[in-house]
Amino acid sequence: MHELSLTQTLLDLALKNADGRRIVSVNLLLGELSDERPEAIRFYWNDVARGTLAENAELRFRPVTAKMKCLQCSTVFHPEETVVECPNCKSFRVKILSGDDIRLAGIDVK
């Protein structure tokens, strides 16, 4: 159900940007640490966009590389698959800077 409300939010945003024009495609940035599944969003999109100007719009997902920052020494790094430790000082006190969510990058209208 989480993906349904997320899709609804993305749709609302896209429609607002479209300003009454028909949406041909929707460009989304998908962070590599995000657990959203493109196929689930496509599935819900068919539902929530029906009857709107975004009906039948093509969803394009672009991957976004994750970035993390060490809170100990401020090194910014790309996290390895499972181990999230600073490559510089080996600290585990890190925070995610980007790549853990999904965002609307833009839309194409007609």
Contacting residues toward Zn ion, per CB under 5 A: 70, 72-73, 75, 86, 88-89, 91
Q: Min. distance of Cβ 99 from Zn ion in angstroms?
A: 18
Residue 80's CB is within 10 A of a number of other CB atoms, namely 9
Read off the tokens for 64: 């976004």
For Zn ion, the closer of residues 27 and 75 by Cβ is 75
CB proximity list for 65: less than 8 A, separation 6 or greater: 32, 78, 98, 99
Nearest to 22 by CA among 58, 47, 67: 58
Q: Min. distance of Cβ 64 from Zn ion in angstroms?
A: 23
Q: How far apart are CA 95 and CA 107, in angstroms?
A: 30
Q: Min. distance of Cβ 76 from Zn ion in angstroms?
A: 10
For Zn ion, the closer of residues 73 and 97 by Cβ is 73
β-sheet bridge partners, residue 67: 98
For Zn ion, the closer of residues 60 and 69 by Cβ is 69
Q: Min. distance of Cβ 27 from Zn ion in angstroms?
A: 34
